[in-house]
Amino acid sequence: MPLPHREPWPAGRGRERHLRLPPGVSGAWVSTACRLALGAVWIWAGVAKAADPFATLRSVRAYQLLPEGAVQVVAFGLPFFEIALGGLLVLGLLVRPVAVASLVVLGLFTAAIASAWARGLNIDCGCFGASATQGAYGWELLRDVTFSLLAARLVARTQSRLALERSR
């Protein structure tokens, strides 16, 4: 006798019905935590880089991926771009476009770190300004993937609390 066919999800309902959050915690609060955490990370990284622009220049140059003219543009522009991304996320403005931009930038960072690791470079990633840590590529990649998951959540579900802009 054949088994009756069962849909994995009840008709008309998405997977979120089956994800159980603690009582009193809504998906909007999860998105809020992701938005504020990623925003704080961007602001922290941007301020750390802006505080020592020449260390940022050395870090970008150490990857050996860009021509010198582009190295300078990236090194001096990236901190302010990161601060802008973080500020918009913290305020809750343009959340989905900023989350998409975050995914793109984090993807570029991940590729650059993986490239440095694959080429045997022993450099400071410069991710949060200059540091004494060099060659901790596994942790840096894991960190960037984790931040990418936060951004992906915001692309998928922008509705959050404590935001200046209403999500659709």
Percent of the chain residues past pLDDT 70, beyond the cut? 79
In whole numbers, what is the pLDDT of the chain averaged over residues? 84
The predicted-structure confidence for 36-75, as pLDDT tens digits, reads as follows: 999 999 999 999 999 999 999 999 999 999 999 999 999 9
Of residues 31, 50, 43, 45, the one with CA closest to residue 84:
43
* pLDDT confidence tier of residue 132, bands split at 50, 70 and 90: low
How far apart (Å, rounded) are the C-alpha atoms in residues 118 and 36? 33
pLDDT of residue 12: 52
Q: What was the pLDDT predicted at 75?
A: 94
Task: Render pLDDT for 67-100 as a digit per residue (tens, 0 to 9).
Answer: 999 999 999 999 999 999 999 999 999 899 999 9
pLDDT, residue 56, reads: 93
Residue 77: predicted pLDDT? 96
**Cα(131)–Cα(45) distance, integer angstroms:** 12
pLDDT at residue 133 above 90? no
Helix axes 137-156, 95-118, angle to 10 degrees: 160
Q: What is the per-residue pLDDT for 4? A: 57
The pLDDT value recorded for residue 84 is 98
